[in-house]
Amino acid sequence: MPLLSEIFWLFLRIGAVSFGGGMTAWIRREVVIRKGWLEDRQFLAGLALCQITPGANGVNLAIFTGSLLRGAAGAWAAFFGLMAIPIVALMAAGTFYFTNHEAIRHAGFGAALSGVAAAAIGLLLANGIRLSRRNLHGLRGTMITLVTALAIGVFHLPLLEALAVIVPINLVLTWWKRRA
């Protein structure tokens, strides 16, 4: 079981280097692969839970992980570690923005943000592919994953509408498989 300080420092580092949706990939790499604090199945269960609860997935996942490892104190350590650097960076960026409006219009600033967004998308895709390879077994799971990706990624259905369609289909398929 990791120390509270280990949880804090790990999530401080993740908060310093991850952006947006790429945070999930960073958390998985550190907590499952590098540290071995959680197994893939535990991580996936937590990720699923975090995606259906209000709030940012990365923050929810940090709190879930810290809680699983060390209870409420672990959840707080993970949360404060994850949020410390982004809060300071956001305050600095806000100060810079409000004192240097003209610098923001510079093309290099927009290009840098586009590069960060592309890197986050790449991390998400790589993480999705790795998780799929290890955890999708059989045609049913693969089809549910593809239908979900199409519903949200291609047809832009809101999460609740996609779940309202996909969850009943998955329940019926699971029931049918167990019945047979």
Mean pLDDT throughout 147-160? 86
Query: Does residue 107 surpass a pLDDT of 70?
Result: no
Distance CA 73, CA 65 (A): 11
Residues 6+ apart with CB under 8 A from 98: none
pLDDT bin (cut points 50, 70, 90) of residue 104 is low
Q: Does the pLDDT at position 135 exceed 90?
A: no
pLDDT band at 152 (very low <50, low <70, confident <90, very high): confident
- Nearest alpha-carbon partner for 52 in 170, 175, 167, 174: 167
What confidence tens digit (pLDDT) does each residue in 45-75 have? Answer: 999 899 888 888 899 999 999 999 999 999 9
Radius of gyration of the chain (CA): 19
| 163 token code pair | 């779940």
Instruction: Return the DSSP state at 178.
Output: H
pLDDT beyond 70 at 20: no
Write the DSSP string, 8-65. Answer: HHHHHHHHHH--TTHHHHHHHIIIIIIS-SS-HHHHHHHHHHHHTSSS-HHHHHHHHH
